Amino acid sequence: MEIQYSVSSVNAVCRGKKKDSIEKHVTSVKHALKKNNSVDQRIQTSLVSVANSTKSRKLDTFAKANIPLEKLENSALREWINEFTHGGCDAACVKTLREKYVPEIATEYVSSTIAALEGKTIHILCDETTDRVGHCVFVVILYPPECTEEKLFVVSATYLDACNATSCSRAVSDAIKKYNISFDNILGFVSDSARSMTLCFETLKVVVGDHLLHVQYWAHTLNLLGNSWTLNKVITVVKSAFLNTRKRKSRYLNYLEDKRAGKKPAKLFPAPMLTRWDSWFSALPEMLEICNSGINYLSHLTNKQVCSLDAQAIFVKEHAQDLVQLATVLEGSKYMTSHRLYPKLDTLNTAMEEVEQGKLLPKTRAALSELNAMEKASTENIFRKAAYKLTKLKTADPAKVHFQGLVKVFSPTMILFNSGEEEAGLKNLPGFSELPQTDISREYKEIKRLAELRIKKGEKVEVEGILHSASAEYPESVKCCSRLLWTATNNVDSERLLSHYNNVVTDRRTKLKESNVELLVALSFR
């Protein structure tokens, strides 16, 4: 009896009298070669890979755009995806995407982050919050200062049973281990000044090494300084009075138009900004107008209290502009170079010390003269309290010596008029101890020469531009300098991440797994 056996992948028919001969043919090398070279097989394989790639990319896009996967259950969206997605693959169901492709995206993100951070100096930024479900969420961001782009890598969004030094240091250590970060490459630990974060730093320092620097970000510190004024609380109350009140806003605008008689455009009182520190400074002009006019929004205050608020507002406008400007810079999305931080703090500290000594400008003195002795003493005490708090916080700054050393080395004034001590100080900074002292001295003199050349040309002396000019000739020294110049001076990115976290874990997505939350936050945070 003759048996026919069709092998569809090679479009051939094998004829034989025994089943044994057919099985030998199917397992033969010749058949395997024909099967691998089959056009149909290659087309089939390519279609499967394209389909998988398309589904994976679709999931990645949804995650980066923070679009919930359940949106794919919408029939209109599925029809649109099927029609316009290249590769001819059908839109995968949500369950398949979660079970098969989410782990692949997570693995790919970890691999790409490890590759991007390999061999680079790292600053660890971290913070914690309580989400809408009641979880204590601790986030960790890695910031490589030597990257040409200001890129941040979210490496952890962990749920903690309690936010203490032990649990926080364990979360940071797990992130370091997961992303293969060398302890020698970790330069800074950036956090707020909470006691738990200080203890967390001390724990990590034992593991990482004595070179680890603790930077307590000054945006948060300046917010504590701004809270010294009672004016802050009153402005918050007035802002709330205008929130979601259409008729009240209309009456207020009509009042301003009548009062100003067309000399100045009417402007609404600024809305509350709960996610930005010291935002009350922007409301000072409107607050002064309210104090001066005595309109009924402050009717619950006495005339003496209104006069005290008026004096505080004038004081902030006259004496605290350095504070307002520095807070604006530190809360921005651009990092300030580290050698510029302490000169600005010194300028602010000098202004506050003059206030503490009673050296007030004319408008502030005139406003205080309208108060009785008790109110005047109370208001002046608020001014002194703010000045004392700044001095205390600056003295307690754990990174003070490091930042002052950077000022001595990289400040344009110091570069031009140094006495040789700066070159000696340079070798004590992280990264320079490995370089020969003779090279450091020679290359620092070259930086000084480039600065003098720019002065002669009438150009502005900026150390970043000077280092860029010297990067081709002295790559290693310039690399070390760049790492130090871009030492993280604030932690507002971790605050932005916590705000973004609430956009990911909404009231309708409270049952997301912790691993999926971490992935979604990491991919969609920019």
pLDDT tens digits for 398-413? 888 888 878 877 777 6
- Contact in structure between 16 and 27 (CB atoms under 8 Å): no
Question: Do the Cβ atoms of 174 and 514 come closer than 8 Å?
Answer: no
Q: What is the pTM of this model?
A: 0.77
pLDDT band per the 50, 70, 90 thresholds, residue 452: confident
| 190, containing H or E segment | strand 186-191
How high is the pLDDT of residue 153? 92
Q: Which amino acid is at 509?
A: R
Q: Give the H or E element holding residue 186.
A: strand 186-191
Burial track 287-320 (b if 16+ CB lie within 10 A, e otherwise): bbbbbeeeeebbeebeeeebbbbbbbbbbbbbbb
Give the pLDDT band (50/70/90) at residue 46.
Answer: very low
Could you tell me which of 240, 255, 234, 214 has the C-alpha nearest to residue 298? 234
Least confident range from 40-44, 187-191, 217-221, 429-433: namely: 40-44
Residue 173 predicted with pLDDT over 90:
yes
d(CA 245, CA 272): 13
Q: How far apart are CA 122 and CA 102, in angstroms?
A: 28
Calculate mean pLDDT across residues 350-367. Answer: 83
Buried (b) or exposed (e) across 447-456, using 16+ Cβ within 10 A?
bbebbeebee
Residue 373 has pLDDT above 80, yes or no: yes
For residue 489, the model assigns a pLDDT of: 81
Q: Going by C-beta distance under 8 Å and a sequence separation of 6 or more, which residues neighbour residue 355?
A: 319, 383, 384, 386, 387
Torsion sign (Cα): 322, 325, 330, 331:
positive
Q: In whole angstroms, what is the distance from residue 410 CA to residue 70 CA?
A: 53
**Non-local CB neighbours of 127 within 8 Å, separated by 6+ positions:** 138, 139, 191, 192, 491, 494, 495, 497, 498
Q: For residue 201, is pLDDT > 90?
A: yes
What mean pLDDT comes out for the span 49-71?
Answer: 72
**What is the C-alpha to C-alpha distance for residues 383 and 385, in angstroms, rounded to an integer?**
5
pLDDT at 387 over 70: yes
pLDDT band at 358 (very low <50, low <70, confident <90, very high): confident
Average pLDDT of span 296-318:
71
Q: CA–CA separation, 171 vs 180, rounded Å?
A: 14
Our measurement of the distance from residue 397's CA atom to the centroid of its chain's CA atoms, rounded to an integer in Å, reads 21
